[in-house]
């Protein structure tokens, strides 16, 4: 899922660290405007010694120029001029930092409702969702909306950070009230792992160091939890899926007969000698080798980007998928999916759009809108005839090309797609497949 016609990856930075992925945590911030997401990220970067002195000096100077009597850490992530002027996040800001225990890629997503699509982009590849709540305000419609989106996006780990505890005198009663309210709401969602942590991003309480002001709290600090949450078992290492993105043919003297198929492993484990099938043609072959830059690998697993060589000269092109012979996805043209609509013009039945699924492009028509999901009550409005901006609903699609897909609950890569306006090339929807037939 993405806000342009390219399938989302966390950032260009992600590629550089993919080989160490089991020690990497991708997490996305979420929540309402002014809940302190950017300030929290700035605090994490500052207290973990992940910023340079000149960066800190620049932020301190900007804070003084604005007349603040404190260092506005949000300026470390709010990079757009309009963001700094308004004090809000608009675009998804990606930041990379590391501790001795783990590497991190942070997606600092916007809180405004009109930028919900940017939040979906940032969370689509996240291992963990970090929902911030202002302790003074409690749960808001937008924090509930983001929790629902994180659940629909199958983000396996969720942290509810009750922020600005310093503004409620570090009240345990306030923490318990919001904690219980969210737990009751979360029972309606698919959230397998939930941690609730009281913090003050501005003061640093329970972010990196344990707070002396909240002795009643015995759980982990935020950074400790991020460093130790287990994510390796979240990925599908059983069902082999390798969407082909590019055919590598150097045609140089050194690699005159080289032919490889480049892409990102979406599921399972690839090894030389494995018998595989190329879809949708159905041709079979054996993996001859797996290359990463100038080295040959013994295996490849999600989300490594590699080049696969086959023993036979079969016809393989962009949009095809390499899978195991006895465990391959069934090509589907009738798609049942949950769709988050991302543009002002509503989604309606009979509407025609372009669709991008993994590396495969096609066209699709909306057969039916079954219901719209109310993100506050989770009520299914079956009388709806369309989906408006930022609304979520269950949609039936018919595609012109078969999609080599899995249910989103099984594989987040092969179970997701984006919808594109053919006239403008703008991404207008993001979908999560329930089933295909």
pLDDT higher at 408 or 87: 408
The least confident of 208-217, 328-337, 358-367, 369-378 is 369-378
* Residue 134 DSSP SS3: strand
Q: Give the distance, in angstroms, between the CA of residue 248 and the centroid of all CA atoms in the same chain.
A: 28
Taking a C-beta distance cutoff of 8 angstroms, is the pair 366, 375 a contact?
Answer: no
Indicate if the pLDDT at residue 177 is higher than 70: yes
β-sheet with 128-134: strand ranges across: 93-98, 103-108, 24-31, 128-134, 157-163, 193-198
Q: Give the distance, in angstroms, between the CA of residue 319 and the centroid of all CA atoms in the same chain.
A: 22
Taking a C-beta distance cutoff of 8 angstroms, is the pair 297, 287 a contact?
Answer: no
Nearest CA among 69, 203, 197, 119 for reference residue 375: 119
Nearest CA among 94, 101, 128, 68 for reference residue 13: 94
Note the pLDDT of residue 22: 46
CA distance 273 to 318: 23
Nearest CA among 151, 361, 339 for reference residue 351: 339
The least confident of 31-35, 164-168, 212-216, 346-350 is 31-35
User: What is the pTM (predicted TM-score) of this model?
Assistant: 0.78
Q: Give the distance, in angstroms, between the CA of residue 238 and the centroid of all CA atoms in the same chain.
A: 21
The least confident of 5-9, 145-149, 392-396 is 5-9
The least confident of 25-39, 129-143, 187-201 is 25-39
Query: Which H/E stretch holds residue 402?
Result: strand 392-404
Of the pLDDT bands very low, low, confident and very high (cuts 50, 70, 90), residue 233 is: confident
Of the pLDDT bands very low, low, confident and very high (cuts 50, 70, 90), residue 436 is: very low
Per-residue pLDDT of 85-97, as tens digits, reads 444 434 566 788 8
Of the pLDDT bands very low, low, confident and very high (cuts 50, 70, 90), residue 40 is: confident
Of the pLDDT bands very low, low, confident and very high (cuts 50, 70, 90), residue 2 is: very low
Indicate if the pLDDT at residue 250 is higher than 90: no
Per-residue pLDDT of 297-324, as tens digits, reads 999 998 899 999 999 999 999 999 999 9
Percentage of the chain modeled with pLDDT above 90: 54
What average pLDDT does range 66-83 have in this prediction? 53
Note the pLDDT of residue 23: 80
Per-residue pLDDT of 258-279, as tens digits, reads 899 999 999 999 999 999 999 9
Say how many C-beta atoms besides its own lie within 10 A of residue 125's C-beta. 23
Sole residue written with tokens 């989106």: 149
- Where do the DSSP E strands lie in 64-114? 93-98, 103-108
Q: What sign does the dihedral 306-309-310-311 (CA atoms) show?
A: negative
Indicate if the pLDDT at residue 63 is higher than 60: no
């Amino acid at each position: 899922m993405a806000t342009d016609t390219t399938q989302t990856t966390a950032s260009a930075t992600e590629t550089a660290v993919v080989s160490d992925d089991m020690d990497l945590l991708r997490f996305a911030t979420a929540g309402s405007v002014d809940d302190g997401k950017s300030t929290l990220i700035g605090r994490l970067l500052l207290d973990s010694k992940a910023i340079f002195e000149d960066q800190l000096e620049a932020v301190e100077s900007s804070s003084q120029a604005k007349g603040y009597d404190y260092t506005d850490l949000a300026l470390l992530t709010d990079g757009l001029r309009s963001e700094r002027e308004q004090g809000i996040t608009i675009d998804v800001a990606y930041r990379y930092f590391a501790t001795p225990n783990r590497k991190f890629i942070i997606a600092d997503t916007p809180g405004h409702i009109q930028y919900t699509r940017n939040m979906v982009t940032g969370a689509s590849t996240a291992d963990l969702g970090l929902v911030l709540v202002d302790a003074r305000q409690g749960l808001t419609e937008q924090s509930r909306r983001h929790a629902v989106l994180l659940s629909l996006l199958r983000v396996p780990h969720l942290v509810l950070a009750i922020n600005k505890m310093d503004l409620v005198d570090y009240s345990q009663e306030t923490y318990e009230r919001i904690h219980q309210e969210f737990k009751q709401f979360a029972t309606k969602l698919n959230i397998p792992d939930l941690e609730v942590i009281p913090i003050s991003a501005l003061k640093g309480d329970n972010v990196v160091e344990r707070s002396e002001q909240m002795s009643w709290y015995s759980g982990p600090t935020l950074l400790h939890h991020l460093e130790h949450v287990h994510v390796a078992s979240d990925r599908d290492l059983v069902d082999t899926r390798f969407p082909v993105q590019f055919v590598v043919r150097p045609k140089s003297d050194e690699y005159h007969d080289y032919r490889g198929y480049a892409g990102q492993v979406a599921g399972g484990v690839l090894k030389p000698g494995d018998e595989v099938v190329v879809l949708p043609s159905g041709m079979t072959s054996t993996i001859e080798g797996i290359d990463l830059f100038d080295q040959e690998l013994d295996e490849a697993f999600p989300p490594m980007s590699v080049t696969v060589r086959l023993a036979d000269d079969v016809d393989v092109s962009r949009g095809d998928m390499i899978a195991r012979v006895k465990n391959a996805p069934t090509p589907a043209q009738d798609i049942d999916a949950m769709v988050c609509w991302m543009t002002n013009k509503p989604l309606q039945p009979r509407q025609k759009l372009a669709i991008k699924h993994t590396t495969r492009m096609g066209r699709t028509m909306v057969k039916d809108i079954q219901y719209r999901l109310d993100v506050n009550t989770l009520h299914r409005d079956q009388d709806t005839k369309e989906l408006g901006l930022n609304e979520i609903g269950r949609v039936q699609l018919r595609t012109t090309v078969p999609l080599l897909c899995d249910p989103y609950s099984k594989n987040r890569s092969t179970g997701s797609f984006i919808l594109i306006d053919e006239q403008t090339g703008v991404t207008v929807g993001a979908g999560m497949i329930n089933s295909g037939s």
